[in-house]
Amino acid sequence: MKIAGCTTLLLNTMFYACREAAISMVRNFWMNIVVVFVIIVSLVILGGAILVVLNADYFASSLESDVEISVFLKPDLDQNTVLEIGERIKDTPGLLEVEYISKERALEQMKASFGERAGILKNLEQNPLPDAYRIKVKDVNQIAALAQSFEKFPGVDKVRYGQGLLEQLLLVTYWVRLLSMALVIALGLAAVFLIAATIRMSVLTRQNEIGIMKLMGATNWYIRVPFFIEGVMLGLIGAITAVAVVSWGYMELLQRLEVAVPFINLVPETAVLTSVLVVLLGLGVLIGATGSLISIHRFLRV
């Protein structure tokens, strides 16, 4: 009975709190529009950046299987040294597979790839190709570091890996990550302070009301909750809009790319979008809650 009473009390109070929050939001309409807009912009940028990075990672991992390091050995090594180098390579952590390709095998492979024109190779007096190890790595991000370490092995002549595309891709995602993080943090902070400013304004416009509420025995909690709800709602509205913009944009992009450049694989929408959606909604609420708490704390010392 007592618990039921408390629950209805709480429900009534929440109803009044939500109503007051709604009234307040209508009253500060234009300020709220600006706040919501800033939240939308920052969350859309964040969502876009997450999608770019996720897709780049996805693309990189699809390249991963094709990416190998080739370690070419110096020409006049005896068989033992060749094997020793092989053992040393295999001892390095982070490798998926190490394959030895002797110069004879390399020549055969080359002949096979030349096909009908393999005749050119018959004129060779001796095999010009070096012995080599072909290495597959677990993590593409490690590839440059691994290649460098192999270069220092004695007996190693040259190290080659899928330089170019992959490196550039990794560099792009690195910068996208860095820039978007900086931008998102800056815009997020701006959004938090804008929310704090709006809530401060609604506190000030309702100063009178708050004073009367206190005289009538309103608890601190009762006075504060509407402002908290207002802040969270602003964050949520911004986040929902941002989610809509990002999802629509991504699906649109997927459709266009499928037609224009079918060989580029993007992460299919449902897998990514749900997680991005959750992140954006959570951040929107967090921004709203933080902003309103700052103002409640500073301007509602009841």
Residue ranges binding other proteins (CB under 8 A): 8-10, 12-13, 15-16, 208-209, 211-220, 222, 302
**Reading across the β-sheet that carries 156-161, which strands appear in turn?**
95-101, 132-137, 68-73, 156-161
Pairing of strands 132-137, 156-161: unpaired
**Residue with Cβ nearer other proteins (220 or 275):** 220
Q: What is the CA angle 124-127-130, rounded to 5?
A: 145
Spatial contact of 132 and 70, defined as CB atoms under 8 Å apart? yes
**Residue with Cβ nearer other proteins (209 or 258):** 209
- The strand ranges marked E within 76-223 are 95-101, 132-137, 156-161
Q: Shortest approach of other proteins to residue 209 CB, angstroms? A: 6
**Residue with Cβ nearer other proteins (205 or 275):** 205
- Count of residues making up the chain: 302
* Strand-pair partners of 99: 134
**Residue with Cβ nearer other proteins (90 or 297):** 297
**Residue with Cβ nearer other proteins (35 or 210):** 210
Spatial contact of 136 and 68, defined as CB atoms under 8 Å apart? yes
Q: Shortest approach of other proteins to residue 11 CB, angstroms? A: 9
Q: Shortest approach of other proteins to residue 204 CB, angstroms? A: 15
* Strand-pair partners of 159: 71
**Residue with Cβ nearer other proteins (215 or 261):** 215
3-state secondary structure of 137: strand
Q: Shortest approach of other proteins to residue 203 CB, angstroms? A: 16
Q: Which residues contact 99 (CB under 8 A, 6 or more apart)?
A: 133, 134, 135
**Residue with Cβ nearer other proteins (10 or 251):** 10
- Which contacts qualify for 103-107: CB closer than 8 Å, 24 or more apart? 103/127, 103/129, 103/130, 103/131, 103/132, 106/130, 106/131, 106/132
Q: Shortest approach of other proteins to residue 217 CB, angstroms? A: 4
Q: Shortest approach of other proteins to residue 29 CB, angstroms? A: 15
Q: Shortest approach of other proteins to residue 5 CB, angstroms? A: 10
**Residue with Cβ nearer other proteins (27 or 158):** 27
Spatial contact of 100 and 133, defined as CB atoms under 8 Å apart? yes
Rounded Cα distance between 224 and 58, Å, is 46
Q: Shortest approach of other proteins to residue 21 CB, angstroms? A: 14
